[in-house]
Amino acid sequence: MKVSKVMVIGAGQMGSGIAQVCAQAGYQVLLNDLKQEFVERGLGIINKNLSRNVDKGRMTGEQKQEVSARLTASTDLNDAAQVDLVIEAAVENMEIKTKIFAQLDEIAPAHAILASNTSSLPITEIAAATKRPEKVIGMHFMNPVPVMKLVEIIRGLATADEVYQVIEDMTKTLSKVPVEVNDFPGFVSNRVLMPMINEAVFTLYEGVATKEAIDEVMKLGMNHPMGPLTLADFIGLDTCLYIMETLHEGFGDDKYRPCPLLRKYVKAGWLGKKTGRGFYTYE
């Protein structure tokens, strides 16, 4: 099976990044979201990234135009009727994702693969919303997508070997490194990362050190490019909390209990960089 046309659902930071790397790799891409303004904002992010690449000499103006020409705006899920692969990058919520996948199952051609960019939710459960569970798979890209090399590829219980192979091969065409992971809550990346972030929040909550000191210890002592509290602000504290809750519920183990301070910040609307305030304050 050959992938030539891709639909990306969700034109936010992750979705626009996925659409960009697919278009750069030569795929025809439909960038879909609920409203035209959301899609236009996503296309604007892509245009800014491509312009930066031209300015830095990574691509020519002509190449930028070619990439842009491969991107099409979409606000209708029925556009999935003409694609080979759908990559869903909607909000991290099981109810929303299963609803989208049930609709896609009705619309997309029989050969089409349905992939989710979920960062923690079970692919098997998402696949159960469709009549083609063998063609459902996880493609967990890292943020920022155009820069980060890793894609976790997650097999659901029923994912077919040939579907896995198509997605692994396609991932390589995006200049990414595919890593095969089985379907457990949080996969590998967030099962390891989120408890570390949560523990950093507990360290702050218990008054062990200031936020700056905690981040400095991890940067200088563990050679992390940014501290865990800064990273949490960049990811979004609501997303961190949701993933911790998914891990806590999925494993039933209290070592994944979200820190009360994380919960308090989310309730206060302090979600990190996107709201201007999290553990740190942003302009």
Active-site amino acid positions: 119, 140, 152, 190
From first CA to last CA, the distance across the chain in angstroms is 48
Written as six digits, the tokens of 31 are 């960038």
DSSP string covering 221-270, please?
IH--SS-HHHHHHHH-HHHHHHHHHHHHHHH--GGGPPPHHHHHHHHTT-
- The CB density around residue 7, as the number of other CB atoms within 10 Å, is 29
- The CB density around residue 71, as the number of other CB atoms within 10 Å, is 23
3-class secondary structure, 73: strand
The secondary structure element, H or E, covering residue 66 is: helix 61-69
* Cα–Cα distance, 282 to 280 (Å, whole number): 7
* Cα–Cα distance, 270 to 242 (Å, whole number): 15
Task: State the amino acid at position 41 in one-letter form.
Answer: R
